[in-house]
Amino acid sequence: MSDDYEIVIGLEVHVQLLTESKLFCGCSTRFGAEPNTQTCPTCTGMPGTLPVMTRRAFELGLRTALAIDCQISPFTKWDRKQYYYPDLPKGYQISQFDLPFSHDGGLDIRDPKGRFAPKRIGIIRAHLEEDAGKSMHDEQAGEADSRIDLNRTGTPLLEIVSQPDMRSPAEARAYLDELKLLLVYLGVSDCNMQEGSLRVDANINLHLTGENGEKIATPIVEIKNMNSFRAVERALEYEAIRQYQVWQETGQRLGDVPKQTRGWDDAANLTRGQRHKEESSDYRYFPDPDLVPVRVSPEQIEIVRRALGELPAALRARLIGAYGITEYDADVIVNQGRDVVSYYVELAEACSDGKMASNWVQQDVLRTLKEQTITIDAYPVRPAQLAELLGKIRGGEIDTTRAREVLAQMLTSGKGVAETMSALGIVRVDESELIELCQQLLASNPKVVAEVKAGKVQAAGALIGQAKKLNPNANPARVREICMELIAKS
């Protein structure tokens, strides 16, 4: 049925910026402290207290905004968003309304699996704001009091609002993956969804074509409390189908009903409508008189831009271009982060075979990192050593299977390639020795020789098996070649 309608998705992402102190006071932003132990008169909104913004939060915001191609406003100010909630002690949230510090950017997304064509997702704005605290409600609401913890109150957040440019849950997922990777590369956030340092709200509706060809949009629904990217994907998949059914039943169009907010129930795998307060929409934004505006010069912007470093998209392109690996391989490596990328680059340069380097990084190095849950800097074998080993494979000195044994040894022993090879009794077998070995084999296997002559080439496999038994260091490929030559001559 998905060809009857087009899914239209826009995402609102809140990321916690990696500052030591809160946005407007000196309290720590560390996660997991005892309730209300990371608070002070300022972040609990005591009478007379005043906010003073930490420069770091603004700088991290700038970094991110530039990385997603946003325009930076030369003049930006701070506004109060006013609403009453127990986890908002001042009765307003300091945020940005009509003059966000950045706007009109974009993020390119692609799907290595090719489910959709590469495209750019527009970004409406990215602005800074303070987080609220946490309210804990009792299961059977009404029974017990709600408990309020203000540790999180005042933590710096960057809100990134996308255009409604995504046309499928898969695109939304790709946008989130790419954005998260970018934020991690930039070092502006740890993006830990479990700890709430990355939160996603989704706006979704459907575009259909009516009987007489007119374009129809269904009411926009905002989906909240999805606590993983997978959940976002599933919630969007669910919501698209639900909205299509609602459309078929009610025929409601955009504007017929007020914007609805629904919460995602991961266990039940469905969204539920949330009661919205009638006046909650009137936030009475106005410029916060306690904070002064910020002016940003083109020079400052350039300094930050130059310090961004090579970002995922550029890195992928470089790996594909310089080392001839596939987009898929480049994706896997870049997704591992800067350190794995530089390990790969060093390896590829040293062994001058990007493809081989990519295979070994993905199949051997990454597997070990995963099994031992270590990071690349803790990986015992340095690129130069691994390159030496790969060189021996390409020089025919050792086959891949034996090379893997060598690598395994090196990981535990921490010894070099040559040392490990001789420890394993791996020595180069010279040509004359090999020819002699092959002649023996042919002599003792007349049947095989006959079969090969008759054209049953794969029969030669038996010879290689025996060769390995006679001399484990014999290079199977070379053995095959020699045998074939000898058979042909005979």
Partner 1 sequence: MSLSREQVEKVSLLARLQLSESELIAMTAQLDAIVGYVEQLAEVDTEQVEPMAHAIELSNVFREDRARPSVDRGEILANAPHADGQFYLVPAVLGD
Partner 2 sequence: MSLTDLSASQILAELNARRFTAVEVTQAYVERIERHDPAIGALLRYDAETALATARGIDDRRQAGQPVGLLAGLPVSVKDLLCSQGDLATCGSRMLEHFRAPYDSTVVARLKRADAVLLGRTNLDEFAMGGSTENSALQKTRNPWDVTRAPGGSSGGSAACVAARLTPLSIGTDTGGSIRQPAGLCGITGMKPTYGRVSRYGLVAFASSLDQAGPMATSAADAALLLEAIAGHDPCDSTSIDAPVPSYSQTVTQPLAGLTLGLAREHFGPGLDSEVERAVREAIAVYESLGAKVKEISLPHSKYSVATYYIIAPSEASSNLARYDGVHYGHRTDERAMLAELAAERQKLEAARDTAGLNRLDSPLVRLYRRSRAEGFGAEVKRRIMLGAYALSSGYYDAYYLKALKVRRLIRQDFDSAFQSVDLIAGPVTAAPAFKLGENVNDPLAMYLLDLYTVGANLAGIPGISIPCGLSAAGLPIGLQLQAPPLEEDRLLRAAHMFQQATDWHMRRPNLP
What token pair was written down for 212? 């007489």
Which segment (120-128, 163-171, 287-295, 434-442) binds partner 1 by CB under 8 A? 287-295
Nearer to partner 2, 285 or 328 (CB): 285
Side chain identity, residue 351: C
Q: Quick one: which of 293, 309, 324, 465 contacts partner 1 (CB under 8 A)?
A: 293
Nearer to Mg ion, 61 or 383 (CB): 61
Cβ neighbours of 209 (radius 10 Å): 12
Q: Quick one: which of 131, 149, 159, 233 contacts Mg ion (CB under 5 A)?
A: 159
Cβ neighbours of 258 (radius 10 Å): 10
Binding mask 308-337 for partner 1 (x = CB under 8 A): ------------------------------
Contact call for residue 146 and partner 1 (CB under 8 A):
yes
Q: In angstroms, what is the minimal distance from the CB of 279 to partner 1?
A: 6
Q: In angstroms, what is the minimal distance from the CB of 90 to partner 2?
A: 5
What token pair was written down for 388? 């030496």
Residue 490 CA to residue 452 CA, distance in Å, equals 12
Q: For residues 94 and 24, is the Cβ–Cβ distance under 8 A?
A: yes
Contacts by residues 333-341 (CB-CB < 8 Å, ≥ 24 positions apart): 333/358, 333/361, 333/362, 334/181, 335/181, 336/366, 336/376, 337/184, 337/185, 338/185, 339/375, 339/376, 339/377, 340/365, 340/366, 340/376, 341/315
Q: Quick one: which of 27, 60, 109, 166 contacts Zn ion (CB under 5 A)?
A: 27
Contact call for residue 25 and Zn ion (CB under 5 A):
yes
Using CB under 8 A, list all residues that contact partner 2: 41, 44-53, 80, 82, 84, 86, 89-92, 148, 150, 277-278, 281-282, 284-286, 289-292
Q: For residues 181 and 335, is the Cβ–Cβ distance under 8 A?
A: yes
Say how far residue 177 (Cα) sits from the centre of its chain.
Answer: 4
Interaction residues for partner 1, span 117-136 (CB under 8 A): 135-136
Q: Quick one: which of 1, 211, 214, 275 contacts partner 1 (CB under 8 A)?
A: 275
Residue 1 binding: pick among Zn ion, partner 1, partner 2, none (C-beta 5-8 Å cut-off by kind): none
What token pair was written down for 140? 């059977």
Q: For residues 179 and 107, is the Cβ–Cβ distance under 8 A?
A: yes
Which segment (20-28, 209-217, 280-288, 386-394) binds Zn ion by CB under 5 A? 20-28
Q: In angstroms, what is the minimal distance from the CB of 21 to partner 2?
A: 14
Nearer to partner 1, 142 or 446 (CB): 142
Sequence-distant (≥ 6) Cβ neighbours of residue 101 within 8 angstroms: 58, 61, 62, 65, 72, 73, 76, 126, 127, 128, 294, 296
Nearer to partner 2, 92 or 264 (CB): 92
Phi, psi of 165 (to 5 degrees): -100, -5
Q: Residue 11's beta-bridge partner residues?
A: 202
Q: Name the pairing type of β-strands 260-265 and 79-82.
A: unpaired
Contact call for residue 40 and Zn ion (CB under 5 A):
yes
Q: In angstroms, what is the minimal distance from the CB of 38 to partner 2?
A: 15
Which segment (106-114, 156-164, 277-285, 454-462) binds Mg ion by CB under 5 A? 156-164
Q: For residues 72 and 104, is the Cβ–Cβ distance under 8 A?
A: no
Residue 159 binding: pick among partner 2, Mg ion, Zn ion, none (C-beta 5-8 Å cut-off by kind): Mg ion
Binding mask 31-60 for partner 1 (x = CB under 8 A): ---xxxxxxxx--x-x-----xxxxxxx--
What residue spans of 336-416 are helical by DSSP H? 338-351, 354-360, 366-371, 383-394, 400-413
Nearer to partner 2, 150 or 204 (CB): 150
Residue 368 CA to residue 386 CA, distance in Å, equals 14
Residue 241 binding: pick among partner 2, Mg ion, partner 1, none (C-beta 5-8 Å cut-off by kind): none
Interface residue list for partner 1 (CB under 8 A): 19-21, 26-29, 34-41, 44, 46, 52-58, 77, 84, 86, 135-138, 141-150, 274-275, 279, 282, 284, 286-287, 289, 291-295
Interface residue list for Zn ion (CB under 5 A): 25, 27, 40, 42-43
Interface residue list for Mg ion (CB under 5 A): 159
